[in-house]
Amino acid sequence: MKNKGKISDNSDEELLLAFRQSGDMKYFAELYTRFVPKLYGLCLKYLTDREAARDAVMDIFQQLPEKIAQYEITNFNSWLYSVAKNHCFSRLKKENQVYFVKMEDAVVENDTFFSHNDKPQSEEEIEALEYCIETLTDEQKASVKLFYLENRSYADICDMTGFALSKVKSYIQNGKRNLKSCILKVLKNNN
């Protein structure tokens, strides 16, 4: 393992390699801690029931140590996303329930959506952002702050606010659109 400091300072791939080589569950536990919110959000989206989503996440992580030993994994996040998606589809198939999910929704739990790259670049943009956040509805403001400023997952936001998953997605999407529009107006007026 490259990083001899805290276990949490290691990359996913370093933890995976350490777990494969040693079998020490502390490495697996760190991966579990990192990915459980993402997996819960993904499972909730497909299974649409909180209890079923929790059960699915537990099932997935019970099966993972064995699966990790069977496969050559180059990108743990992508591999885990596929495992979780397939597990959810398998559960739905067993229950004879078929759900159609729009492609845009199917990628929201993908890693790129968990890296919040839309950060202000200048002090003027930061001031505009602070002003514009206050113009959002309370629901949009709460959802946007939790998602972008606190890096919370959809599942976390649902749990923290009590909003339905579809509402959280809507609040974030509309809030982001409203923020961009407001920031552009503020910056234009300041120039």
What are the residue ranges spanned by the domains of the chain? 7-113, 117-190
Of the options 1.10.1740, 2.40.50, 1.10.10, 3.30.70, the CATH number for the domain spanning 7-113: 1.10.1740
Q: What is the pLDDT of residue 66?
A: 87
Q: For residue 86, give the H/E element and its range.
A: helix 76-94
CATH code of the region 117-190: 1.10.10.10
Q: How many CA atoms lie within 13 A of 165 on its CB side?
A: 18
Residue-wise over 154-177: b if at least 16 C-beta within 10 A, else e?
bbbbbeebebebeebbebbebbbe
Cα(168)–Cα(33) distance, integer angstroms: 23
pLDDT (tens digit, 9 = 90+) per residue, 74-114? Answer: 888 888 888 888 888 888 877 754 444 443 444 343 333 33
* Interval 121-143 mean pLDDT: 83
**pLDDT tier, 121 (very low <50, low <70, confident <90, very high otherwise):** low
Q: What is the pLDDT of residue 103?
A: 39
Comparing 12 with 128, the larger pLDDT belongs to 12
Q: Token digits for 7?
A: 């276990």
Q: What is the pLDDT of residue 59?
A: 92
Q: What is the pLDDT of residue 1?
A: 55
pLDDT (tens digit, 9 = 90+) per residue, 158-184? Answer: 888 888 888 989 999 998 888 888 888
CA-closest candidate to residue 183, choices 139, 123, 131: 131
